[in-house]
Amino acid sequence: MRPLAETAGIKVTTRLGSVTNAARVASVLADEKVDVVLHAAAYKHVPIVEDNELEGARNNVLGTQVVAEAALAAGVERFILVSTDKAVRP
């Protein structure tokens, strides 16, 4: 991915942190002057998440809210939520 991005003149930067850590998310967006957020962070092992509902909701739901609100506050041009798995018993 990186060579293709570099060819297109796109800077790719990786940072480690939790989507539930609002300060970290805001810091990364501000420090890197992010234009586009591709949000795909989620626990996707359904049986484990079903057995740990609060942690699953905290990461998957509240984490998405944290990233979306931080992107809005930072003036990010685009926020794209990527579904990382299929629905179970929809």
* Of the candidates 30, 34, 41, the residue with the CA atom closest to the CA atom of residue 13: 34
CA 32 to chain centre: 15
User: By three-state DSSP, how is residue 36 classified?
Assistant: strand
Confirm whether 11 is a catalytic residue: no
Q: Which of 11, 33, 44, 86 is catalytic?
A: 86
Active site residues: 86
